[in-house]
Chains A and B, each alone.
Chain A
Amino acid sequence: MKKALLAAVLAVFATPALAQQAQSPAQRLDALDKRITRLEDMNAVERVQRAYGYFVDKGQWTQLSELFADDATLEIGGRGIFVGRKRVLEYMHGAFGPDGPKEGLLAQHMQFQPIVDISPDGKTAWVRSRAFVMSVGGWGLPLYEDEFTKEGGVWKFKRESGPFTMYTSWKGWGHDALNNTWPDKFDPPPDLPPSTVYLTYPAYWIVPFHYPNPVTGKPFPVDPVGAYHRPPGTPEQAAAREAGKLADGTQAIAEPPRN
């Protein structure tokens, strides 16, 4: 995104005045169109992520599944990867029952703090955001690193990745913490195993950022990513650092914008 921004800045602002004058009015309007489209796209992507949250709140699984592209993937907690819109719906129906809210059930998944980036070609978007869960089961903190695709002018989920930061009972995280990430205690089974093995609070895993530091422009550091459960410097911590990576050594989940 940083690069995209730089490119846009170079194209629109930093171009020497002479060169800008050399651009035809139509070319300058083309550049303006791109900037307006990017702002509209950012709003549209946020809207899809927020609509997702409101559908979760009220158990609208069919509507929710329609926010996904045909070949989209879904990975929540540590439950493995579900491939395709139909499997997204199966996952939701299997885990949470038929469409509609139920008497005595509260499962608020409030969608906060989105950071949206659009690819330079305007066809792909990424969101880092969080859900704050207030439910009959207690409190929860999923984090999202999601990817969106623009198909026919409409933004859809291409990949939803929702690893958990913390889950606890109503008594709170000072009292207990639930490791809510087992793939084996959940039905239906996933199409693919989890992309990442990690631990939730009181351990932590830094979900890779899809975007670089917005001030320095430095990419998210590859190294300290891991499910730390021992103090830094211990062999256990060193081993746990590898837990947040794929077998080929790359990080799972987040894909930074390319080019």
Chain B
Amino acid sequence: MRRALLAFAALAVTVPAHAQSLEQRIAAYRHRVSLLEDQDAIENLQATYGYYFDKGLWDQAADLFAADGSFEYGQRGVYIGVPHIRRAMLLFGPQGLAAGHLNNHMQLQAVITVADDGLSARARWQGMIMLAEPGQNGVWGVGVYENEYVKQKGIWKIAKLHFYVTAKTDYDLGWTKSAIPMDGPSALFPPDRPPSEVYRSFPGAYIPPFDYRNPVTGKSLADIPEPTDDVVGRK
């Protein structure tokens, strides 16, 4: 989006609106409106994913992915393609939320960047979690999504969903007394690829990489240093 804005800012500077033909102006405005519509569509798509995932609607959630899309949750590894994604989600429970379960995965604080050609996009989301299952205490959690999207035949789909779980704790104990580690790859239905990044959740310190640039300076955030981690072996 920033690149798109820059491109248009540059266009506006080099070619003042009054010097453009009406047709050129209409074309430019149609493009800008398309990018706004794309951003809204992606926001709705990700919010829908969250509502489906909350309630164990794995079939419906998996259908939001492109045919070659990928799904990665914490340290469970990468599942590729809609059939594998559907089965990977079944590792969280049966289709339809089981009795006594709470599986809230909120999709918040979107920073969406639509490519200037309007065919792909990236977004960062804040992923607060509230979990419960019978006989166990409730769980609070938080994490960050860094996702990619693709527009196919005019419809936005999830190309890559990567949920970096960053912290989970017992409802009563809290962070000073409880840090619940992430689940590893399933032996029952192993992932297509190992985790794309090995990291520890809380108490480990880790920064899920940013897809967007600093919105004011325009500088890349890719070189923000990761904190060291003796357990993971990150120096």
Chain A residues in the interface with B (C-beta under 8 A): 25-26, 29-30, 32-33, 36, 39-40, 43-44, 47-48, 50-51, 53-54, 58, 60, 63, 66-67, 100-106, 108, 110-112, 132, 134-136, 138, 153-156, 170
Name 28 A/B residue pairs within 8 A (Cβ), A-sorted. Answer: A26-B25, A29-B22, A29-B29, A43-B1, A43-B39, A47-B1, A47-B215, A50-B109, A51-B111, A51-B212, A60-B224, A66-B219, A67-B216, A100-B205, A103-B205, A103-B229, A104-B202, A108-B142, A110-B126, A110-B142, A135-B175, A136-B175, A138-B174, A153-B5, A154-B215, A155-B216, A156-B216, A170-B176
Tell whether, in the assembled complex, residue B33 and residue A36 are in contact, meaning their CB atoms are under 8 Å apart. yes
CB distance from A217 to the nearest CB of B (A): 26
Tell whether, in the assembled complex, residue A29 and residue B224 are in contact, meaning their CB atoms are under 8 Å apart. no
Which residue of chain A has the shortest Cβ distance to B200 in the bound complex? A103
Residues in A with CB closer than 8 Å to B175 are 106, 135-136, 170
Residues in B with CB closer than 8 Å to A67 are 214-216
The number of inter-chain residue pairs (CB within 8 angstroms) is 114
Residues in A with CB closer than 8 Å to B110 are 50
Q: Is B221 in contact with chain A by the CB < 8 A criterion?
A: yes
Q: Give Cα distance in the complex from A54 to B29, angstroms.
A: 31
Option from A29, A44, A136 in Cβ contact (under 8 Å) with B215? A44
Option from B126, B142, B217 in Cβ contact (under 8 Å) with A66? B217
Tell whether, in the assembled complex, residue B1 and residue A154 are in contact, meaning their CB atoms are under 8 Å apart. no
Within 8 A of A (CB), among B195-235: 202-207, 210, 212, 214-219, 221, 224-225, 227, 229
Residues in A with CB closer than 8 Å to B39 are 43
Tell whether, in the assembled complex, residue B111 and residue A54 are in contact, meaning their CB atoms are under 8 Å apart. yes
Tell whether, in the assembled complex, residue A40 and residue B227 are in contact, meaning their CB atoms are under 8 Å apart. no
Tell whether, in the assembled complex, residue B111 and residue A47 are in contact, meaning their CB atoms are under 8 Å apart. yes
Name the 3 nearest CB pairs between A and B, nearest first: A170-B174, A101-B205, A104-B203
Q: Give Cα distance in the complex from A36 to B30, angstroms.
A: 10
Q: Is B157 in contact with chain A by the CB < 8 A criterion?
A: no
Residues in A with CB closer than 8 Å to B22 are 25-26, 29
CB distance from A139 to the nearest CB of B (A): 10
Which residue of chain A has the shortest Cβ distance to B140 in the bound complex? A134
Q: Give Cα distance in the complex from A52 to B2, angstroms.
A: 16
How many residues from B make CB contacts under 8 Å with A?
46
Which residue of chain A has the shortest Cβ distance to B213 in the bound complex? A51
Tell whether, in the assembled complex, residue B128 and residue A110 are in contact, meaning their CB atoms are under 8 Å apart. yes
Tell whether, in the assembled complex, residue B29 and residue A36 are in contact, meaning their CB atoms are under 8 Å apart. yes
Tell whether, in the assembled complex, residue B224 and residue A63 are in contact, meaning their CB atoms are under 8 Å apart. yes
Residues in A with CB closer than 8 Å to B203 are 103-104
Tell whether, in the assembled complex, residue B111 and residue A33 are in contact, meaning their CB atoms are under 8 Å apart. no
Q: Is B17 in contact with chain A by the CB < 8 A criterion?
A: yes
Option from A25, A66, A102 in Cβ contact (under 8 Å) with B216? A66
Q: Is B32 in contact with chain A by the CB < 8 A criterion?
A: yes
Which residue of chain A has the shortest Cβ distance to B35 in the bound complex? A40
Residues in B with CB closer than 8 Å to A43 are 1, 36, 39
Residues in B with CB closer than 8 Å to A112 are 108-109
Given contacts A43-B36, A136-B176, contact A54 B205 (CB under 8 A): no
Tell whether, in the assembled complex, residue B26 and residue A110 are in contact, meaning their CB atoms are under 8 Å apart. no
Q: Give Cα distance in the complex from A123 to B33, angstroms.
A: 21
Option from A106, A111, A135 in Cβ contact (under 8 Å) with B109? A111
Q: Is B18 in contact with chain A by the CB < 8 A criterion?
A: yes
Tell whether, in the assembled complex, residue B109 and residue A53 are in contact, meaning their CB atoms are under 8 Å apart. yes
Residues in B with CB closer than 8 Å to A108 are 126, 142, 167
Q: Is B98 in contact with chain A by the CB < 8 A criterion?
A: no
Q: Is B41 in contact with chain A by the CB < 8 A criterion?
A: no
Q: Give Cα distance in the complex from A106 to B176, angstroms.
A: 10
CB distance from A135 to the nearest CB of B (A): 7
Q: Is B122 in contact with chain A by the CB < 8 A criterion?
A: no
Q: Is B124 in contact with chain A by the CB < 8 A criterion?
A: yes
Tell whether, in the assembled complex, residue B36 and residue A39 are in contact, meaning their CB atoms are under 8 Å apart. yes
Q: Is B9 in contact with chain A by the CB < 8 A criterion?
A: yes
Residues in A with CB closer than 8 Å to B126 are 53-54, 108, 110-111
Tell whether, in the assembled complex, residue A100 and residue B225 are in contact, meaning their CB atoms are under 8 Å apart. yes
Residues in B with CB closer than 8 Å to A110 are 108-109, 126, 128, 142
Residue in A60, A66, A103, A136 whose Cβ sees the most chain B Cβ within 10 Å: A103
Option from B18, B25, B210, B227 in Cβ contact (under 8 Å) with A101? B227
Q: Give Cα distance in the complex from A55 to B36, angstroms.
A: 25
Option from B32, B109, B142, B167 in Cβ contact (under 8 Å) with A54? B109
